[in-house]
Chain A
Amino acid sequence: MSASSLLPLLVLWPLAGGLLGLLLPRGAGPLLLGVSTGNLALAVALVDALAGAGKVAHSVGGWSTPLGIALRADGLSAVLILVAGAVAPLLALYASAAYAGRELRYFAGLFLLFLGALNGLFIAGDLFNLYVTLELLGLSAVALAALGGGAAALAASLRYLLATITGSLAYLLGVALLYRATGTLDLLQLSGQGPALPGGAVAFALMVAGLLLKAAVFPLHFWLPPAHANASPPVSAALSALAVKAPLYLLLRLWLSTYDGAWPLVAELLAAIGAAGVLWCSLQAVLQRRAKLLVAYSTVAQLGYLLLALALVPAAGAAAYGAFTLLLVSHVLAKAGLFLAVGNLARRAGHDRLDGFERVVQHLPLSASAIALAGVSLMGMPPSGGFNGKWLLLQAAIATGDWWLVAVILVGGLLAAVYIFKLIEHTFGGSDRPDATALPRRMEWAALTLAASAVGVGFLGQPLLRLLGGVP
């Protein structure tokens, strides 16, 4: 198999699996595990192919741009496809124990569609296909969020739906403006042209606003905490770890490539909302009394770091670009592990109130360890992926002389320590409840594996940065 034919397969394989999952009356568990594992194999093959070439491209059906569909993968695409591919089988493993029957079938179908859309987004070479994959991703995410079926989950996913559709529309409007001005949507052809185009600034503002809404970046995060906190654990994990990263990835591509990192004001704005998000939402996380809400607010706070890193790329270059990628990767792993672990605690206790976790450290030691390990990365303590990202971000901020950002990064880390230890402290307290239902072990192991790999990628900083390559 040639390297470039990997690209369409990365989209088609999970999409086909997803459709099959929705149609087949049984066998959803094995299908989910098999397809997501196959997807991981494809992702590894892509990484392997890129390690030699640096870039891979494919024109669907042999039609070249502007007529055909171009798929392209560079280092960033490969890193993101790899980490999503690594998380998916563990979420599948967890889901196959947590769900049964119709629920498992729906999860399998929707999650694989979600995965296919995500892969497609990371390799789409033009703005329209980016829109299509973004839309498919958003809709499958909303459907997943509604899967729990409770009134709160339905209300939250309706809000989510509203936000994601509004965001898509704004983005699409921006794309239309660009198309009118240039007659092409291909990212390569548009490269660097954005700022000079008539209406280019308006198009940019529309697209960025739409993407920020979809990414639930502060102050547009209103829809995220209820949606993520009311979904069931594997869904929360998929949404928090993966779904919100896609719009930010797209934002990076648009701004750095199509708009060539233009307008200093954009960098300042991104840094400002990123910093505000880190501080405000970390504080919100500290104040929560429900564990899942705490974790959801932590997600919004961590997205703030990604914006900070992105904002510094034009000025600081490779350090900030590496910080963006490493923070993203480690947040994917840590947050997926954390949501699964907290889900385990909540399942055992029958609720997710912090003060009612009765000595889970004794009864679910693996989940408690998962919380601690994921916490290490989220706090940015060494050794962990989170620390590596934070270190590069600090270096970028010091190099550009942005000392206020240094302060934000450190204070954000301290607040993260407060909310993580709030979580951990409550696992030590309370009274015994030996009669509570036991959990299938693989639900604990899935959480622990994810959390441990968030720490483990702390030792893979060099290979990841090598795969990532320079700023595009």
Chain B
Amino acid sequence: MSEHELLPLAVLATSLLPGLVIFFLPEGAVRVRSVLNLAGATVKLVLVAVMLWGVSRGENYAVSYPLLPGLTFSLRADSLALLFVTLSAQLWFLTTIYAIGYLESSPNRARFFGFFSLCVTATVGVAMAGNLITFLLFYELLTLSTYPLVVHRETAAARAAGNRYLAYTIGGGAALLLGTAWLYAETGTLTFTPRGFVDGSGASSPVLAAIFFLLVAGVGVKAALVPLHGWLPRAMVAPAPVSALLHAVAVVKAGAFGIIRIVYDVFGVEYAAELGVTDALAAVAAVTIIYGSLRALAQDDLKRRLAFSTVSQVSYIALGVAIVGPLASIGGIVHLVHQGLMKITLFFCAGNYAETLGLHKVSELDGVGRRMPLTTAAFTVAALGMIGLPPMAGFISKWYLGLGAIEAGATWAVFVLAGSSALNAAYFLPILHRAWFRAPTAAWAPVPAGVRAETALALLLPPVITALLVLLAGVLASVQYSPQEWATLVVRREFYAP
């Protein structure tokens, strides 16, 4: 087996193996567990860096194994896969540190970290899946491995949220399975191919359109497209690191990534537009963007507000995908990374407020900036990025999306973007105002003796780092290996005919 086959497997193994070992470690083995987790996360980062370097020079990393006649398990690290793998490898590393700090002294940590690692394995698998069946495999593994994280607290509310989550995602999985089986019966292949493989397969247009809607409905559940988003706000009962992971890296991103794969590598965006299905997708995305923002406005619970904000923001990706043209594509897929960085920062900060001061509601945040300046600064950077202010990462996404919409003549989309930005401002700016400019209403819990920072370092560093990344991704957008440059490379290499 050559290194080109070994690397994708090794990237999976860096989270799969620690996860499996952790299940069998005793609950008290905190140090061994943390070392395993962090070692796995570090090795993954190194391996991903090697592959990034290789792929940018045109190397191919792929491995496959036959499952059934005509059906293969296939991993392939193409440039699009690496965009997502890099994001999840980085954020996994930070979230692990955060989770170790957050769950200190809470029960069932072995189980938590075991499934946490499986969850990341599934995400990386989703990213590197070389065909639709492998994608389906990891997509379902993701459903199964996040369920125990959602019900982690074992309360009645957690179990109800878990059931809701399953009802949506398993239903979505069934739609995806049907679409996949049907597509295979029609075309005889499932391999992701640049610019798609269904054009010229001989299948009729209405059948292909039906398959498209089945597939997109299947992944749309996880991407929380309205009306398939109902599980996401409920899943907020999970611990903060889980929310961070769910919203920024794993679940909703796997759904959004699925949309990207289906449009560009199964159908080909130009052929999908010929079928007329991209217009429908664009409409759903636009509705989701506005609806999510409107609902976010009305939430007083901070995590719920962030959850509805996710519903809205993830559909930027779908919108960018549905508008035909390289600029919109760049905007859509770069937002996959940018939204991840911004949203994970926001959830880390929300977790810090809850864990350090017991604050869960927006209305309780008056003056919190004085007690926790660094956390609040990180929150501010991410929130301004969400609104789309330069020089934050979110601005780059919106800029390309807007240019792409104009390029494609879809002026209405510009209005959707502008309206959404205004709504983003309307639900984020009041939080910032409260945190920085209002006087605290209650006496804060005193800083524990011996702690010099505003909260535990394991909780403080991850959001500060991700906030810096939000800034860097915006300021250094045109440097090589920046998310925006990589997205441009992906779009040029894989999505449109040169």
A interface residues with partner B (beta carbon < 8 Å) = 322, 359, 361-362, 365, 369, 372, 376, 379, 381-383, 388, 391-392, 394-395, 398-399, 406, 410, 413-414, 417, 421, 424-425, 428-429, 458-459, 461-462, 465
The chain B residues found within 8 Å of chain A, CB to CB, are 23, 65-69, 71, 73, 108, 111, 133, 136-137, 140, 144, 147-148, 151, 154, 159, 162-163, 166, 170-171, 173-174, 177-178, 181-182, 184-185
Interface centre among A379, A428, A429 (most CB of B within 10 A): A428
Q: Give the residues in chain A near B67, CB-CB below 8 Å.
A: 383, 388, 458-459, 461-462
How far apart are the CA atoms of A47 and B259 in the complex, in Å?
A: 44
Cα A128 to Cα B66 with chains together (Å):
41
From A362, A381, A388, A421, give the contact of B173 (CB < 8 A).
A381
Q: Which residue of B lies closest to A464 (CB)?
A: B68
Complex interface: chain B residues within 8 A of A425 (CB): 151, 159, 162-163
Give A372 to B114 CA distance when docked, in angstroms: 14
Q: Of the candidates B23, B144, B163, B170, which one forms a contact with A365 in the assembled complex, judged by CB atoms under 8 Å apart? A: B23
| A–B pairs, 14, beta carbons within 8 Å | A359-B154, A379-B170, A382-B140, A383-B73, A383-B137, A395-B185, A398-B182, A398-B185, A413-B177, A417-B170, A425-B151, A429-B154, A458-B67, A459-B65
- Do the beta carbons of B184 and A395 come within 8 Å of each other? yes
A394: chain B residues within 8 A (beta carbon): 177-178, 181
- Whether B65 lies near A382 (C-beta < 8 A) is no
Sample of 18 more A-B contacts, CB < 8 Å, known A382-B136, A421-B163, A458-B67? A365-B23, A369-B23, A372-B144, A376-B144, A382-B133, A383-B137, A395-B181, A395-B185, A398-B181, A399-B185, A406-B178, A406-B181, A417-B166, A417-B170, A425-B159, A428-B148, A462-B66, A462-B69
A461 to B65, CA, bound (A): 11
For A373, the closest partner residue in chain B by CB is: B144
In this complex, the member of A361, A381, A421, A462 whose beta carbon has the largest number of chain B beta carbons within 10 angstroms is A381
Indicate if the CB atoms of B108 and A410 lie closer than 8 Å: no
Most buried by B among A359, A391, A392, A459: A391
CB-nearest residue of chain B to A372? B144
Q: How far is the CA of A24 from the CA of B490 in the complex (A)?
A: 72
Residues of A within 8 A of B178 (CB): 394, 406, 410
A338 to chain B, nearest CB (A): 16
How far, in angstroms, from A428 to B185 measured CA to CA in the complex? 40
By a CB distance below 8 angstroms, the chain B residues around A459 are: 65, 67, 73
| Alpha-carbon gap, A342 to B147, bound state (A) | 20
Which 4 A-B pairs rank lowest in CB-CB distance, beginning with the nearest? A382-B137, A398-B185, A394-B181, A461-B68
B69 touches A428 (CB 8 A): no
Cβ-closest chain B residue relative to A369: B23
**Do A465 and B140 touch (CB < 8 A)?**
no
Instruction: Take A365-B111, A381-B140 as given contacts and tell me if A391 and B66 are in contact as well, using a CB distance cutoff of 8 Å.
Output: no
Query: Chain B: which residue is nearest A392 at the CB level?
Result: B68
Known A376-B144, A395-B185, A398-B185; judge A414-B171 contact (CB<8 A).
yes
In the bound complex, what is the Cα–Cα distance between A369 and B166 (angstroms)? 18
Given contacts A382-B137, A414-B174, A425-B162, contact A391 B181 (CB under 8 A): yes
Residues of B with C-beta under 8 A to A382: 133, 136-137, 140
Residue of A nearest to B65 (CB): A459
Contact check: which of A372, A391, A429 meets B68 at CB < 8 Å?
A: A391
Contact between B159 and A428, CB atoms less than 8 A apart: yes
CB–CB A421/B166 < 8 A:
yes
Which A residues are in CB contact (< 8 Å) with B140?
381-382
| Cα separation A413 to B148 with both chains bound (whole Å) | 21
What residue in chain B is nearest A389 (Cβ atoms)? B68
Residues of the B chain whose Cβ atoms lie less than 8 Å from the Cβ of A428: 148, 151, 154, 159
A226 to B135 CA separation, bound complex (whole angstroms)? 41
Q: How far is A82 from B23 in the complex, measured between Cα atoms in Å?
A: 31
A35–B73 alpha-carbon span in the complex (Å): 38
Contacts A372-B144, A382-B137, A425-B162 given; does A410 touch B68 at CB 8 Å? no
Q: Contacts of B144 on A, CB cut-off 8 Å?
A: 372, 376, 381
Q: Which chain A residues border B71 with CB–CB below 8 Å?
A: 391, 461
Minimum CB–CB distance from B208 to chain A (whole Å) comes to 15
Q: A461–B68 Cα gap in the complex (Å)? A: 5
CA distance A462 to B66 in the complex (A): 7
Give the distance in Å from the alpha carbon of A225 to the alpha carbon of B387 in the complex: 59
CB distance from B286 to the nearest CB of A (A): 30
What is the bound-complex CA distance between A343 and B108, given in angstroms? 24
Query: In the complex, which residues of chain A have a beta carbon less than 8 angstroms from the beta carbon of B65?
Result: 459
Q: What residue in chain B is nearest A361 (Cβ atoms)? A: B111
Q: What is the CA–CA distance of A425 and B181 in the complex, to the nearest angstrom?
A: 30
**CA A372 – CA B73 in complex, angstroms?**
22
Residues of chain B with a CB closer than 8 A to A383's CB: 67, 73, 137
With A and B bound together, what is the CA distance between A270 and B148 in angstroms? 39
A381-B181 Cα distance, complex, nearest whole Å: 13
Question: Smallest Cβ distance from B184 to chain A, in angstroms?
Answer: 7
Chain A contacts for B184, CB-based, 8 A: 395
Set of chain B residues within 8 Å of A417, measured between Cβ atoms: 166, 170
Please determine whether A362 and B108 come into contact, CB atoms closer than 8 angstroms: yes
Please measure, in the bound complex, the distance between the C-alpha atom of A284 and the C-alpha atom of B108, giving whole angstroms: 34
Q: How far is the CA of A421 from the CA of B137 in the complex (A)?
A: 19
Verify A465–B68 contact, CB threshold 8 A: yes
Cβ-closest chain A residue relative to B108:
A362
Q: Which residue of A lies closest to B178 (CB)?
A: A410
A42 shortest CB reach to chain B, Å: 28
Q: For B170, what are the chain A residues with a Cβ–Cβ distance below 8 Å?
A: 379, 414, 417
Question: A368 to chain B: closest CB distance in Å?
Answer: 10
Question: Which of A379, A395, A406 lies at the interface centre, i.e. has the most chain B CB atoms within 10 A of its CB?
Answer: A395
A286 to chain B, nearest CB (A): 13
Report the nearest A residue to B153, measured CB to CB.
Answer: A428
Given known contacts A414-B170, A414-B171, A429-B154, is B159 in contact with A462 (CB within 8 Å)? Answer: no
Neighbouring B residues of A322 by C-beta, 8 Å: 68
Contacts of A395 in B (CB 8 A): 181, 184-185
Instruction: Quote the shortest CB–CB distance from B28 to chain A (angstroms).
Output: 14
Residues B159 and A429 in contact, CB atoms below 8 Å apart = yes
Given contacts A381-B173, A417-B170, A421-B163, are A388 and B68 in contact (CB under 8 A)?
yes
B-chain residues with CB within 8 Å of residue A414 when the two chains form the complex: 170-171, 174
Residue of B67, B151, B166 with highest tally of chain A CB at under 10 A: B67
Complex Cα gap A424–B159 (Å): 11
Q: Which residue of B lies closest to A380 (CB)?
A: B177
- Max count, chain B CB within 10 A of own CB: residue among A362, A376, A382, A410: A382
**CB-contact partner of A465 in B69, B147, B173, under 8 A:** B69
